[in-house]
Structure 1
Amino acid sequence: MSKRFSSLKSAERTKKKCEFVPWNLEDLVPEHIQNGNVQDALKYICDLSPYIKHSGEMPLIAMKNQLYSVMASRTAVDQGVSHLRETGVIRVFKTSLGQDQFCIMFTIDYIKHITEQFKATCKGEEQPKCLTRFLEEVLSNPTDITVEKEFLIDKHGFKDSDVTELIKIGVLNVKDAGSWWLAIPSVGCFLKLLRKGRQAIIQIIRRTKYREINYKMLLSRKPPTSLKFGFQYHVHDLIGADLVRCINSTTGVLLRIVND
């Protein structure tokens, strides 16, 4: 076995704690984000993608798993997300990407996205009263990732026809009888591009000689057209989702596909 591979294996054995997120060694994530609060980390992630931030076509979304790749403690992430959700600062959404993969939006950005999406898709139409009530009454209260019948219909007096309209608008998805997922209008486009970005970077890594790539070298490449959100945004997604892991080496942080 070559000396190069021996050193990597040794690093894996002796630095298990650093293997997952060794960003501090390369200053790839600011220290105040690594050891700060979840709210600042969420803002940091959203700012990583100019396309998401400035295109006007995408909601300002971060994946919960991305927080695991920029903060030093998973426990701090879970506790911080729970606190921000319980205080109504953020909304958490189930996705089709996997059981433990969730979207996060700041509530203020979520409300703005809903109103802008309605104006864009229903030009000239007046905002329905059920949507106005949803924004004012439902979103003024901290909610879980689901909305129950007791809360929506029994407590706030929404009718079945109102619920049907809210599903059509895209703020609710049916979970089961008497329960709905809180949803993001037009989130399908975001998830589609996120999947394409994951696949694109994984393919780049697989084509390298040793099926691993230096993080800084990856950033220096011209992004493929399918990588809409930028390398940094997608890499943090891959690491946090346990699809790619970080390995310390003498040349910097290497990205290697998990179980490849």
Structure 2
Amino acid sequence: MSKRYTPYGSAKHAKKSKYVPWDKSSDSIVPEDVRGGGLRAALVHLSNLYQTQNGSTVLPKVAMKHQLYSVMDSRTTVDQGINSLRENGDIKMFKTSLGTDQYCIMFTLDYIEHVRTHFSTENSANEKEKTSKISKTLLKFITEVVPNSSDVSLDKKTLFDKFGFQDSDITELIKCGVLNLRDAGSWWIAIPTAGHFLKLLRKGRQATLQIIRRTKYKELNQSELLARKPPPSIKLGLLYHVHDLIGADLVKCINATTGVILK
């Protein structure tokens, strides 16, 4: 029989309980140094998680904003920390098509490196020619605009008056995938290859939920789930998706005598 439990993130019990599902070493899905390292450590851990597990170097080093709620026990701390890191220019936040408040987060330097690598690799196999293959417009965007803007979108006044871009430059940046149209006269800052990443995230999310739903009581021990061989549709690793499901409130965490149960 399970112990009395509090669903993680419950507003009703948030002040009464500091319990997080992985605070016991036997069930921890977050390394101790990450748990004690604050928001920056959590971002580093999550953004590298599927790359280190699956050897992916093509996809960007991305963490989802809501995943941070699965690592830290205070959502307020997460939100305040994100705002601080954004204002300091340490991170970039990106709007996604997954739903309200589901944003991608990248360290600014990782984003710049991802853009450089993506277009250099795409355009040239010669190591010495890679940097020169990035257009002047794109290079200006990642060296002048990206480090000096904390917003998730940019308007025409900023791009044209402050940074000196022209209509042809905007067209090129959209083609490169670093800008997406928001509305007339404004654009979302975007991640090249983000569409592929979000497709993998969406498929993996549904597949992981399906594993849990197919059990008798639609609940599964967290350790048992992570010990399973993931189906082919899960490309980012089960652990990455467990953080995704918990942070997005798609499962409840139950502290049972047998360990953490995902329901």
Q: Does 1:134 align with 2:128?
A: no
State the alpha-carbon separation in 1 of the partners of residues 36 and 72 from structure 2.
Answer: 6
Q: Could you tell me how far 1:53 is from its partner in structure 2?
A: 7.1
Name the residue aligned to 1:24: 23
The change in CA–CA distance for 1:108 and 1:117 in structure 2 (over 3 A counts) is same
Give me the TM-score of the superposition, normalised by structure 2: 0.88
Task: Indicate conservation of the 8 Å contact 1:130/1:162, yes or no.
Answer: yes
Encode CA deviations 1:106-157: one digit per residue, 9 max, x unaligned.
1111011111111233347832211111112102313210012121111111
Q: 1:11 aligns with which of 2, 5, 10?
A: 5
State the alpha-carbon separation in 1 of the partners of residues 44 and 158 from structure 2.
Answer: 30
Task: Indicate conservation of the 8 Å contact 2:91/2:105, yes or no.
Answer: yes
State the alpha-carbon separation in 2 of the partners of residues 202 and 21 from structure 1.
Answer: 20
The 5 Å alignment of 1:118-133 reads: 118-123=119-124, 126-133=133-140
Task: Indicate conservation of the 8 Å contact 2:69/2:78, yes or no.
Answer: yes
State the alpha-carbon separation in 2 of the partners of residues 20 and 239 from structure 1.
Answer: 14
Task: Indicate conservation of the 8 Å contact 1:60/1:105, yes or no.
Answer: yes
State the alpha-carbon separation in 2 of the partners of residues 207 and 140 from structure 1.
Answer: 46
Q: Could you tell me how far 1:85 is from its partner in structure 2?
A: 0.8
Mean alpha-carbon deviation: is it higher for 100-109 or for 117-126?
Answer: 117-126
The change in CA–CA distance for 1:77 and 1:12 in structure 2 (over 3 A counts) is closer
> Aligned pair count?
249
The change in CA–CA distance for 1:206 and 1:194 in structure 2 (over 3 A counts) is same
The change in CA–CA distance for 1:11 and 1:57 in structure 2 (over 3 A counts) is same
The 5 Å alignment of 1:30-109 reads: 30-50=31-51, 54-109=55-110
Give me the TM-score of the superposition, normalised by structure 1: 0.89
Kindly report the root-mean-square deviation, in angstroms, between the aligned alpha carbons of the 2 structures: 2.1
Q: Could you tell me how far 1:33 is from its partner in structure 2?
A: 2.9
Task: Indicate conservation of the 8 Å contact 1:93/1:103, yes or no.
Answer: yes
Q: Could you tell me how far 1:243 is from its partner in structure 2?
A: 0.8
The change in CA–CA distance for 1:35 and 1:220 in structure 2 (over 3 A counts) is same
Gaps of 5+ in 1: none
Q: Does 1:114 align with 2:108?
A: no
State the alpha-carbon separation in 2 of the partners of residues 47 and 53 from structure 1.
Answer: 10
State the alpha-carbon separation in 1 of the partners of residues 73 and 6 from structure 2.
Answer: 18
State the alpha-carbon separation in 1 of the partners of residues 166 and 194 from structure 2.
Answer: 25
2:173 alignment partner, SS class: helix
Amino acid at match of 1:69: S
Task: Indicate conservation of the 8 Å contact 1:153/1:159, yes or no.
Answer: yes
State the alpha-carbon separation in 1 of the partners of residues 81 and 60 from structure 2.
Answer: 22
Task: Indicate conservation of the 8 Å contact 1:52/1:58, yes or no.
Answer: no
Gaps of 5+ in 2: none
Task: Indicate conservation of the 8 Å contact 1:42/1:62, yes or no.
Answer: yes
State the alpha-carbon separation in 2 of the partners of residues 150 and 128 from structure 1.
Answer: 22
Amino acid at match of 1:21: V
